[in-house]
Amino acid sequence: MNKRVYLGMIGDIMHPGLINIINEGAKYGEVIIGLFTDKAIATHQRLPYMTYDQRKNVIENIKGVSQIVPQDEWSYVPNLLKYRPDYIIHGDDWCEGVDSELRQQVFDTMEQIGGKVIEIPYTKGINSSSLDKEIKKLGTTPDIRLKTLRRLIAAKPIVRILEVHDGLSGLIVENLEAERGTSKVSFDGMWSSSLTDSTSKGKPDIEAVDLTTRMQDLNNILECTTKPIIYDGDTGGKPEHFVFTVRTLERNGISAVIIEDKIGLKKNSLFGTEAIQTQDSIEGFCHKIRMGKEAQITKDFMIIARCESLIAGKDVEDALQRCLAYVDAGADGIMIHSKEKTGEDIKAFCKAFRKHHPAVPIVVVPTTYNHIKESELAKWGVNVVIYANHMLRAAYPAMMKCAESILQNERSLEANPLCMPIKEILELIPGTK
């Protein structure tokens, strides 16, 4: 009986290094490819460019591959215990960093099942990470960006979105990574906030900035990023006008628009009952949703209905009644909003809504209940968390402090610790140097 060789692979960007590993594995026996699912990849790093089926179709046609099985976790252990290979092949690039713990788990498991780990030198000069960076430099297309949000929601326990208001803040969301335990974490997409858009222009958050103006600024973000964007559509305006908003956003590759069920002059929801907050009728808002859905061209664009019942001082039952109607009208997801600091009303809503719709995406903006972690929100049934205004809120105090220092000291020397070194900012944007 032939020996069995296990090889875990993402297979999103094929290159000579991966072919080399497959060829090396074939020397020891029949090669079983543990192909990481979208879910397994997305919980650890970026969403793959190709779907699982597309990647499987490519790899199963590579010489030396005997079998492909799904690997549903970043950890190899479940599949190693299930398939009990004689060997596992891996490049030696996992000896340090976040994957070193994973490596030790593999060694322990293979010893348990009587197998052997074979490490081969990583192919120099080429790897998936460097190729990914080069692909990002090329940018993306509206069609690809548009589809990504739905894929992320399907693949990840919770999708992490951060507010952006210009190209520079967009680049931060695009490129920033941090280590959390054994995983690398990053933001999955961007939120184009009406609050930060208007505030950055010195205008009130009352829908004073029109769609055309906002799209001009949004184009600056689209040009230097690839991740999906959710657009804050405020009330959506008149149903007849909302139709054109949907068409414009979809054409430009925006993944989703969120509109709130309020009428009249828009006031920021965080004012709560301190400002006049008039909700639309259920029938009126459902009509707007239906018109928007009829206007879109693709199945990928999402219209997410934002319910303001809890903001307006109403109870969870009122919010539930409204949101069930919005889904029936065609809404692709629900955003439930609250200014309460405990988050208990949000939790109660999510649990009640999930009894009716186990799979319809729920979006939250935990500005006031920001002590609750993403993992807990996911347990409630939340799919998307939006950090809605933090980039602008962080930038303003920093700029104020810098300006004050210059005024107080008659020079900028004392402000140096507050500022990015000029050399770094010259190298920040590709093509500047």
d(CA 34, CA 69): 5
CA atoms within 13 A on the CB side of 296: 24
User: Measured in whole angstroms, how far is the alpha carbon of residue 104 from the centre of its chain?
Assistant: 30
Q: Is the dihedral of CA 305, 306, 309, 312 positive or negative?
A: negative
Q: Are 363 and 387 in contact (CB under 8 A)?
A: no
Structure tokens at 92: 């030696």
Q: How far is CA 137 from CA 45, 134, 216, 430, in A?
A: 18, 5, 21, 9
Alpha helices, H only, 253-409: 282-295, 316-328, 344-356, 374-380, 390-409
Catalytic residue among 99, 188, 205, 300: 205
Of the candidates 199, 213, 245, the residue with the CA atom closest to the CA atom of residue 388: 199
Q: Which amino acid makes up residue 277?
A: Q
* Bridge partners for 35 per DSSP: 9, 70
d(CA 133, CA 19): 20
**Among this protein's residues, is 205 annotated catalytic?**
yes
What is the β-pairing status of strands 87-91 and 4-9?
Answer: parallel
Buried b (16+ CB within 10 A) or exposed e, 126-160: ebbeeebeeebeeebeeeebbbbbbbbbbbbebbb
Q: How far is CA 246 from CA 13, 182, 233, 240, 376, in A?
A: 33, 40, 10, 11, 33
Active-site annotation, residues:
205
